[in-house]
Amino acid sequence: MAQVKRAFDPASADVATAEASPDQTASQLQFWIDCMGGPVLVAEKGSRTVSFCNKTAHNFFIPGSPSPVGRLIDELIGVAASLLLTQIWSIPQNGAISEPFIIKSVLDDKERLLVTHVSSVRVEGRDLRLYSFRDAPPSDTLGMVNWQLNLMELLNWLPLGFEVATLRDEVQFVNSGFKQMFGYDLDQLEDAEDWWRLAYPDPDYRAMARQKWEDEIAAARRENREMTPFDLDVRTASGETRRIQFRHRAIGHFHLNLYLDVTAERLYAQRMQKLAEIDPLTGLLNRRSFFEQTSEILSIDGGDEAKHVVLMLDIDHFKQLNDLHGHAVGDLALEAFARCCHGVVRGRDVVARLGGEEFCVFLRSVTLDKAIEVAERIRAATEELEIEAGGAPVRITVSIGLAQCWSGENAVDQALRRADGLLYQAKMNGRNRVAH
């Protein structure tokens, strides 16, 4: 884009460079644009409806037509060219004139190449866009405008959000991917504060997201490199929350930001992670996850005086249940027993299916008496379960072995072996009981 802009010398353009105050009256603006030699349109930012024009503009676009005031710019230069005007970046403030930009106007199947300059003006509290036009010189213009249009088409084709901002993080351009991803128009993002307010409505998450962004940006600029990509949850204009990966690089006088929607990829990764950690039948942790979580707890609570207790649980005569009623009924019994355990233990405790009919419960920071009470509650609740088997309810019982984790043990293996030995005793003593 910089090459296209340098191809034209702004000083040679037939455009006035009069200063404008930050806010002016309608009569002041009209006087100003009437002093400009070429055609000028002043339009609403959002609707692109012409609010002011000078006399030269009356016959420049559609000879013999009424005043352009009140009409859409789309009707004067075509929809495609009008939309392109909304994607011009590096728009000066307070009436200063931009560098030239070439657009291809197509109206009633007639093509016309125009050089335009863009400026922001504020009139009686309204933020407007001022466009000056002239016909592009024929020499080498066609190749240049095609290059420029191809670049814009490429940016809009990219399957990601692309944004250009000033060094003060004032948004100047967003591609179609950005609009499709977030649903926000450029007019809704007047400055960085609008983005933070709309995209992160929760104040606490907004503060975290902003600090993350500023820290990563600062590190990248210090080292003159691309920012390390990271993910954030962003609220779109439709109210949907999307997981977005952010990428950033400062190039020249612009900040270039890339936004990749990784919502589907992250959800898939979470599902894969869950499948790796969870027993698919009961929804409990599997053996590997049980040992990982309990090892982490023991490392955290290693110096804590509170004791931990492990329960080994085995559904009594489970093989006979499968043989008599089928594996479908056996699966129902496993699911019902898993719910039973979850209904008794606390949220901070760890419940897992180790395999087959064997289950394990890690009771965190409990006394031995309290652990025995929990085990007895699980046993009693299991005894009350009824499993549907061809219209006739089937009951199950459970045997439980209980062992404390000893001081200095940084893994649950040894306590689990002790609990397993006590489970064997419970079975030898008639099953449906707790041994400790």
Judge contact between 237 and 174, C-beta under 8 A.
no
pLDDT band, very low/low/confident/very high, at 20 (cuts 50, 70, 90)? very low
pLDDT band, very low/low/confident/very high, at 428 (cuts 50, 70, 90)? very high
The per-residue DSSP string of 50-110 comes to EEEE-TTHHHHSSTT---STTSBHHHHH-HHHHHHHTT---PPSTTPPPPPEEEEEEETTE
Looking at residue 349, what is its pLDDT? Answer: 92
State yes or no: pLDDT of 392 exceeds 50. Answer: yes
pLDDT band, very low/low/confident/very high, at 8 (cuts 50, 70, 90)? very low
Looking at residue 139, what is its pLDDT? Answer: 58
Q: Which CATH entry fits the domain spanning 161-266: 3.30.450.20, 3.65.10.10, 1.10.150.130, 3.40.190.10?
A: 3.30.450.20
Looking at residue 370, what is its pLDDT? Answer: 94
Does 161-266 match 2-157 at the fold level? yes
Looking at residue 64, what is its pLDDT? Answer: 79
Q: Is the pTM of this model over 0.85?
A: no
Looking at residue 3, what is its pLDDT? Answer: 31
Over the stretch 142-171, which tens digit does the pLDDT of each residue have?
555 566 667 777 888 888 998 888 777 777
Residue ranges covered by each domain of the chain = 2-157, 161-266, 278-435
- ∠ CA 339-341-347, nearest 5°, is 95
| Burial of 202 from C-beta contacts in 10 A (0-12 / 13-18 / 19+) | exposed
Separation between Cα atoms, residue 212 and residue 244, nearest integer Å: 14
Q: For CA atoms 254, 255, 256, 259, give the dihedral sign.
A: negative
Element (H, E) at 405: none
Range of lowest pLDDT (81-85, 239-243, 392-396): 81-85
State yes or no: pLDDT of 12 exceeds 50. Answer: no
Which has the higher per-residue pLDDT, 373 or 84? 373
Per-residue pLDDT averaged across 273-280, rounded? 79
Assigned CATH topology for domain 2-157: Beta-Lactamase (3.30.450)
**% of the chain beyond a pLDDT of 70:** 87
Separation between Cα atoms, residue 79 and residue 76, nearest integer Å: 9
State yes or no: pLDDT of 140 exceeds 70. Answer: no
DSSP code of residue 229:
P
Which has the higher per-residue pLDDT, 287 or 253? 287
- ∠ CA 68-74-76, nearest 5°, is 40
Separation between Cα atoms, residue 233 and residue 215, nearest integer Å: 17
Looking at residue 76, what is its pLDDT? Answer: 92
For the domain spanning 278-435, the CATH number is 3.30.70.270
Q: Which residues are catalytic?
A: 357
State yes or no: pLDDT of 263 exceeds 60. Answer: yes
State yes or no: pLDDT of 316 exceeds 90. Answer: yes
Residue 252: HSE in the Cβ half-sphere, 13 Å Cα cutoff: 8
Q: Which residues contact 377 (CB under 8 A, 6 or more apart)?
A: 344
Q: What is the mean pLDDT of the chain?
A: 83
pLDDT band, very low/low/confident/very high, at 2 (cuts 50, 70, 90)? very low
State yes or no: pLDDT of 62 exceeds 70. Answer: yes
Per-residue pLDDT averaged across 47-74, rounded? 89
Separation between Cα atoms, residue 256 and residue 234, nearest integer Å: 19
Per-residue pLDDT averaged across 90-110, rounded? 73
Which residues pair with residue 314 across a beta bridge? 358, 399
The most confident of 74-88, 284-298, 311-325, by mean pLDDT? 311-325
pLDDT band, very low/low/confident/very high, at 11 (cuts 50, 70, 90)? very low
Range of lowest pLDDT (118-127, 189-198, 234-243): 189-198
**Closest of 363, 358, 349, 368 to residue 399, by C-alpha:** 358
Looking at residue 94, what is its pLDDT? Answer: 57
DSSP code of residue 159:
S
| Burial of 64 from C-beta contacts in 10 A (0-12 / 13-18 / 19+) | exposed
Which has the higher per-residue pLDDT, 151 or 378? 378
Q: Which residues contact 132 (CB under 8 A, 6 or more apart)?
A: 15, 36, 38, 39, 40, 97, 116, 117
Token digits of residue 149: 């249009």
**Closest of 349, 347, 334, 330 to residue 290, by C-alpha:** 349
